[in-house]
Structure 1
Amino acid sequence: MRSSGILRFSPELRPGSHQRRDGGSSRWWLIIDCDPELGRYLRHLYLLAQHRTRSLQNPLWGPHISVIRDEAPADPAVWGRGDGERVAFDFDPAVRETNGFFWCPVECAAALTLRAGLGLAREPQPPLHLTIGNANR
């Protein structure tokens, strides 16, 4: 399936704050902010597939793709170029789970090109994925 989202560099965790609960920061993070309705739809499909016995909560940043996760670019002066731009991506709607987090695999050439342009490894670890929710209460 195909969708699109907005590039967000250094996304805030709370208004005015990049401070994480574990003491880290979201300063060197880049996410693709996705349509909330897409996340709601995929969480609903998951609920139906679980015979309405297991629901998911929305992720902190809403449905999103983590492109850069705490990796400082080779040249910090270029950080943020493209912030607010829309990018297209393809995703597999079959939901997967890792440690209570639910996601769908993603392909996004623009995100990989952006990583490479910032001097980072083209392929992130873990690979690109659309986070749709979690079971953590």
Structure 2
Amino acid sequence: MLLAKGTLKYFPLKGESNDAGWLILECDRDLSLYYCWFVQKHLGLRLQHPKFGSHISVVRGEVVKNICRWNAYQSQTIDFYYSNEIKTNIRYWWLTVCSPCLMSVRQELGLDVRPEYDFHVTIGVWI
């Protein structure tokens, strides 16, 4: 696995009263650009870049039990490891991610350490 860094960004859901929000780890834009190029070069498929750029979804609109920890790590740089083996379900294309730090952040928020969808960087969507 390869080492990379990202920056935590919190996005509360406007108008939500149930303590739900989004937390992403914003990654270097070149990460998804390179792998999109690779897919196009070797498979001839053009992928649309992710809506929020290169990122790892840490909290995906889940109800946070320990709301006092929300925003605790805003803009903090976090290390993560990713596989260079591209995964796909034909529509979405991604790289598998491992990050004990992100698991700890989820745990502090009162969530399961592993999200519903394992940590990954979406590199693109085939449209």
TM-score in terms of structure 2 length: 0.88
1:29 to 1:98, Cα distance in 2 relative to 1, 3 A: farther
Partner of 2:7: 6
Q: How many angstroms apart in 1 are the aligned matches of 2:116 and 2:123?
A: 18
Query: How many pairs were matched up?
Result: 121
Identity of aligned residues (%): 27
Structure 1 regions of 5+ residues with no counterpart? 12-17, 20-26
Q: How many angstroms apart in 2 are the aligned matches of 1:75 and 1:63?
A: 27
2:114 equivalent to 1:123: yes
Instruction: Tell me how far 1:125 sits from its aligned partner.
Output: 1.2
Q: How many angstroms apart in 2 are the aligned matches of 1:70 and 1:99?
A: 25
Q: How many angstroms apart in 2 are the aligned matches of 1:99 and 1:67?
A: 23
TM-score in terms of structure 1 length: 0.82
2:22 equivalent to 1:37: no
Q: How many angstroms apart in 2 are the aligned matches of 1:120 and 1:99?
A: 30
* Shift >2 Å, 4+ stretches: none
2:42 equivalent to 1:49: yes
**Structure (1 or 2) with the greater strand fraction:** 2
User: What SS class does the counterpart of residue 110 from structure 1 fall into?
Assistant: helix
Instruction: Tell me how far 1:99 sits from its aligned partner.
Output: 5.5
RMSD of aligned Cα (Å) = 1.6
1:99 to 1:44, Cα distance in 2 relative to 1, 3 A: closer
Aligned match of 1:62 in 53, 56, 60? 53
User: What does the per-residue CA deviation read over 1:35-84, in whole Å, with 9 as the maximum and x for residues that have no partner?
Assistant: 0111111111122220xx21111111001111111112112222111010
Structure 2 regions of 5+ residues with no counterpart? 15-19
2:73 equivalent to 1:82: yes
